[in-house]
Amino acid sequence: MSQDIAIKAQGLGKCYRRQIAGSRSDSLRDALKNTAKSVLSGGRKSAFEDFLALDDVSFEIKRGENVGIIGLNGAGKSTLLKLLSRITAPTKGTAEITGRMGALLEVGTGFHGELTGRENTYLYGAILGMSRAEVASKFDAIVAFSEIGEFIDVPVKRYSSGMYVRLAFAVAAHLDPDILLLDEVLAVGDFTFQRKCMDFAASLEQKGATILFVSHNMFSIKSMCERVIYLKKGKVVYDGPTAEGLRLYENDSRLAKSTWFYDENTQPAIRITDVAITNERGEEANVVNYGERLTFRIHYKTFRPIERPDFRIGVNRSDEVHCSTYSSFADDVDIPMIDGEGVIEVTTPPITLVSELYTANISVREKGFGRILCAQIGGHFHVSHPVYAAVAFGVYHEPAAWTVGEEAETKRASGF
C-alpha cells in the first residue's frame, strides 16, 4: 500500500444472522410452539436469516483527509467503522490500516460504571493503546478538554450521556492518533462542545491525521469534511465531494424514517406517502424568503382507523437544533378519526427563522398527545436573508421595540 494511503478497504463485506419477523418468542409458550413447528417440518425452517450489513465496499483514504460516512439508518455506517477498528472481523474482503488508530464508536465504550472518571481515563487510555505514563502526562489536558473537572472523582455511573461522551472524546483525542474514527459522538452534548470537538478534529487534520466521521448531522459533515462516502443498503453509491453527496442524501432521505424514531412493528398504523412544500405563490419551495409563509401538503395512508390524530411538523436546523413544531392537536384542529388515504394541508405563519438549511419532520400521534405512530423526513428547505444568519442571530429573529436618546429618558422618567 502506498505511503500516502492511510486506509484501504477492498471488497469489504459483513454478514450477520437476524431473526425473521414473526418468529420471535416472547414467552416460554411461544418458544415451545416455534420449536414444535421446526421439529414437525423436519427442522428445515430456521427462525433466522442471513443479512448483509456491508457488501463489497472498496475505497482508499489518503493521509490527512477528513471523510464523512453518510447514509440512512441501517445503511452499514457503524458496521464499516467496527470493521476498520478491528472490533469485528469482516466476512469477506480486507482493510489495511497504516498508522496509530483511535476510535470512539459508542458513548462510554470501555468505561466501567463503578470506577470514577479519573480511573476510567486510565482504563480507557490503556484500551486505546496508551501507556500509564502517557495518560498521566496528558491527564490535566484531558480533564480540561472534557470540562467535567469537578466530577472527575465521581463514579461514571452517575454521569449523564453528555458527560460520558465529553470524557471519552477527550481521552480518544489526546491519543494523538494518526487515524481517528468517530461514530455519532457529536450527537451528544451541547452545541458549544460539538463546536469544540470539530475544532479539535480540524487541528488533528492540520497535524496530518486522518478522520472518518459518521453522522446524521449534515451541519457537522459539511463543516468537517470535504469528501463523503454515501452508503445505501450496505453498498457505496457515492464517493466524492461533500456538496453533491449531501444533495443525494437529502433527496434519498425524503419520506424516510426520522433518525430519532424507532418502531419495532413491521406494519405501521400510518405512513406519510408524499409531502409537498410550497411558498406563497404555490411554487415548490427549496428556498423561501424570510417573512414568507410555507405550506406543507401532507398525503397519508392509514392501515387501521386512527382516533383523534395529532399531525406534527417539527422543524430542525441543519445542526439538529429543534426550532419549532406545528401541531394540529395543540392548534385545536378537530380531526375525530382518519381511515384510509387522505390529505392534510398546513400553512405556517410568516417564517422568522434565520437564514439556514432546515429539515421538516412529519409525525403523527394517536389520541392527541398519545402514542407516536410514525415519524418521517418530509423534506428540506432553506430560509434566505442577507443579514439574519445563524452565526449571529441564533434560531429566529423578530423586530423588537426600540427607543433612543431623549425619548428613552422621557419614557423612563414617566414610568413607562
The grid coordinates listed for 284 are 415548490
CA dihedral of residues 81, 85, 86, 88 (deg, nearest 10) = -30
- 150-173 pLDDT, tens digit per residue, is 999 999 999 987 788 888 888 887
Is residue 41, in this structure, part of any structural domain at all? no
Do 97 and 143 sit in the same domain of this protein?
yes
- 248 and 310 within one domain: no
| pLDDT tens digits, 4-15 | 899 999 999 999
Does residue 378 form part of some domain? Answer: yes
CATH number at residue 379: 2.70.50.60
Q: Please, which pLDDT band fits residue 326 given cuts at 50, 70 and 90?
A: very high
- 192 to each of 13, 198, 201, 222, 360, how far by Cα in Å? 37, 10, 14, 17, 24
Query: Helices 161-173 and 132-146 meet at what angle, rounded to 10?
Result: 130
Residue 289 sits in the same domain as residue 152: no
Q: Which range, of 100-114, 226-240, 351-365, averages the lowest pLDDT?
A: 100-114
Give the model confidence (pLDDT) of 374-411 as tens digits.
Answer: 999 998 888 988 888 876 788 999 989 888 877 777 76
Residue 181 pLDDT: 87
pLDDT band with cut points at 50, 70 and 90 for residue 103:
confident
* Domain match, 54 and 79 both: yes
Shared domain for 125 and 184, answered yes or no, is yes
Residues 6+ apart with CB under 8 A from 249: 70, 71, 218, 228, 230
Please check whether residues 359 and 288 belong to one and the same domain. yes
Residues 278-293: what's their mean pLDDT? 89
Instruction: Report which of residues 231 and 40 the model is more confident about.
Output: 231
- Is a pLDDT exceeding 70 seen at residue 40? no
Expressed as residue numbers, the domain containing 340 is 270-393
- Counting residues of the chain whose pLDDT is more than 90, the rounded percentage is 43
279 and 198 share one domain: no
Q: How far apart are CA 16 and CA 90, in angstroms?
A: 10
Evaluate whether residue 408 is within a structural domain. no
Same domain for 217 and 102, yes or no, is yes
- In the chain, what is the greatest distance between 2 CA atoms, to the nearest angstrom? 95
The pLDDT confidence band at residue 140, using thresholds 50, 70 and 90, is very high
DSSP class of residue 185 equals: G
155 and 118 housed in the same domain: yes
State which of 253, 280, 307 marks the end of a domain: 253
The stretch 189-206 carries a mean pLDDT of 72
Q: How much is the average pLDDT of 42-53?
A: 70
Which ranges constitute the DSSP H helices of 48-176? Answer: 77-84, 117-127, 132-146, 161-173
> Of 253, 287, 303, which residue constitutes the final position of a domain?
253
Residue 246 has pLDDT above 80, yes or no: yes
Predicted local confidence at residue 101, as pLDDT:
85
Provide DSSP, 211-237: EEEE-S-HHHHHHH-SEEEEEETTEEE
Is residue 163 included in any domain, yes or no? Answer: yes
Q: E-assigned strands of 248-355?
A: 270-278, 287-289, 295-302, 306-307, 310-317, 322-327, 337-338, 341-347
Please determine, for residue 189, whether its predicted confidence score (pLDDT) is greater than 60: no
pLDDT at 366 over 60: yes
Bridge partner list, 362: 313, 376
Site of grid cell 418458544: 31
For 371-395, give the DSSP string. -EEEEEEEEEEEEE-SS-BHHHH-S
Q: Are 34 and 43 in contact, with CB atoms under 8 Å apart?
A: no
Quick one: 385 and 244 in the same domain? no
Highest mean pLDDT of the ranges 185-199, 254-268, 366-380? 366-380
Question: At residue 25, does pLDDT exceed 80?
Answer: no
Which pTM was predicted? 0.69
The CA distance from 142 to 166, in Å, is 10
pLDDT for position 263: 65
Q: Please tell me whether residues 354 and 318 are part of one structural domain.
A: yes
Q: pLDDT tier at 304 (50, 70, 90 boundaries)?
A: very high
> How much is the mean pLDDT over the chain?
85
Q: What is the CATH number of the domain that holds 187?
A: 3.40.50.300
Of 31-45, 209-223, 255-269, 375-389, least confident by mean pLDDT is 31-45
Query: Which residue from 172, 212, 218 is spatially nearest to 62, judged by alpha carbons?
Result: 212
Give how many domains the chain has, as a whole number. Answer: 2
* Contact yes or no for 72/232 (Cβ under 8 A): yes
The grid coordinates listed for 49 are: 436469516
Q: Which residue has the higher pLDDT, 242 or 19?
A: 242
Q: Which three cell numbers stand for residue 134?
A: 502517557
Residue closest to 257 by CA, chosen among 379, 375, 380: 375
Judgement on whether residues 209 and 139 belong to the same structural domain of the protein: yes
Interatomic CA distance for residues 211 and 220, integer angstroms = 13
Sheet with strand 341-347: strands edge to edge: 270-278, 295-302, 341-347
Asked whether residue 265 is assigned to any structural domain, the reply reads: no
Sign of CA dihedral 288, 293, 297, 303: positive
Any domain includes 416: no
Residue 64 inside a domain? The answer is: yes
Q: Is position 237 within any domain?
A: yes
Of 199, 225, 253, the position where a domain reaches its end is 253
User: What pLDDT score does 29 carry?
Assistant: 64
